[in-house]
Chain A
Amino acid sequence: MAKSADVSIADMDGSEALPRKNGELVFEAPWEGRAFGLAVTLNEHGIYEWPAFRDQLVAEIADAEARGIESSYYERWATSLERLAISRGLVTPEELEARAEEYEHGNREEDWE
């Protein structure tokens, strides 16, 4: 059985509150759902405590707002996730860059699906 949802994630309040519609989570594109699932899965695997991710996200949102960057909630979420994955030593910026490049230029099949 899948674990039940964590109140400290689902119930975040303030600027970091999850986008929702009538109580349900809203993902405007599939990748937003993947980014959400990835961040929560890493938390469940004990890579970081949820407050660490939340703090990163809050900082990311504040930074984007301060600099007037019109990124979406999940774009900021994805940046937070990336930074945390790098700072926790899961990936290096170089391999991430290289892999993104491959996807961007269609040099990589979606073998992980």
Chain B
Amino acid sequence: MAEDHHEHHHHDDQSPAAIRVKALESLLIEKGIVSTDAIDAVVETYENDIGPMNGARVVAHAWVDPDYRARLLTDGTGAIAELGFWGSQGAEIVVLENTRTVQNMVVCTLCSCYPWPVLGLPPTWYKSAAYRSRAVLEPRQVLREMGLDLEESVEVRVWDSTAETRYMVLPERPAGTEKMNEDELVALVSRDSMVGVARVREPAAVR
């Protein structure tokens, strides 16, 4: 790219790149190859339809429906698909249940395999070399640094994701949520709780 657009850089929609993209789009629309609506729908799908919200919905549904919870824990991929989530590729999602005495946490020591259809794209820390190595070597210390100080009696289990098998954590339903409905519960579930590096906070603590 030339130096001469340095000042407004690529944030400007009159930048050379912006103009070329606009030109290409306009030609492809004119030729009937694509439509504005199709492009809009794609952008919207990737911006909004994937994200931690999908996972939160899975978790909240499992909290209110014991049968669903049982299916989720025996066949994560299938139970998640029941709610309409999962992309085109055949990776399996295994769901791990966190309890008062067991804390499952998920890592990908090799790269950054992540159950993105339910959790969105992985956060930077998940991909960091430090998390990837230390989660296995000293998980309690890592969790403490992330704000989760576990009692000694809690067993920590670390799960290493692969391209074929990706893990998602079903966090424990917090006390004080007995009267909440599914939609209200969805709002409580954080991404970090579904990676197993946090617990779902009680409603009072959320406010």
Interface residues, chain A, with chain B CB atoms under 8 Å away: 2-11, 13, 18, 20, 22-25, 28-38, 40-42, 44-45, 47, 69-72, 74-75, 78, 81-82, 85, 90-91, 95-96, 99-100, 102-104, 108, 110-113
Contacts and interface: CB of A to CB of B under 8 A. Distances in A.
B85 A38 contact: no
A5 B30 CA distance: 26
Interface stretch (B86-94, B133-141, B150-158): B86-94
Given A23-B121, A33-B43, A103 B23 contact: yes
Contact of B51 (A8, A24, A30): A24
A2 B13 contact: no
B12 interface: yes
Interface stretch (B32-40, B57-65, B167-175): B32-40
B10 A91 contact: no
Nearest to B122: A23
Given A11-B114, A23-B52, A72-B10, A34 B123 contact: no
Interface string B4-25: 0000001111110111111111
17 contacts: A7-B87, A10-B121, A23-B122, A25-B121, A28-B11, A29-B11, A29-B15, A30-B13, A33-B47, A36-B46, A38-B34, A44-B42, A75-B10, A78-B20, A90-B27, A96-B24, A102-B23
Contacts of A91: 24, 27-28, 31
A23 B26 contact: no
Given A4-B49, A4-B87, A40-B46, A112 B29 contact: yes
Given A7-B87, A95-B27, 4 more contacts: A23-B51, A31-B22, A38-B21, A41-B34
A24 B120 contact: yes
B194 to A, nearest CB: 11
Contact of A11 (B30, B47, B116): B116
B87 A5 contact: yes
Contact of A112 (B30, B44, B111): B30
Contacts of B29: 112
Interface of B: 1, 10-15, 17-31, 33-34, 36, 38-47, 49-52, 84-89, 91, 111-112, 114, 116-117, 119-124, 191
B188 to A, nearest CB: 18
Given A4-B45, A40-B46, A100 B10 contact: no
A79 to B, nearest CB: 8
Q: Which of A30, A75, A95 has the most CB of B within 10 A?
A: A75
B50 A5 contact: yes
Contacts of B43: 33-34, 36-37
A88 to B, nearest CB: 10
Contacts of B87: 4-8, 10
Nearest to A102: B23
Given A10-B121, A36-B46, A29 B89 contact: no
B113 to A, nearest CB: 8
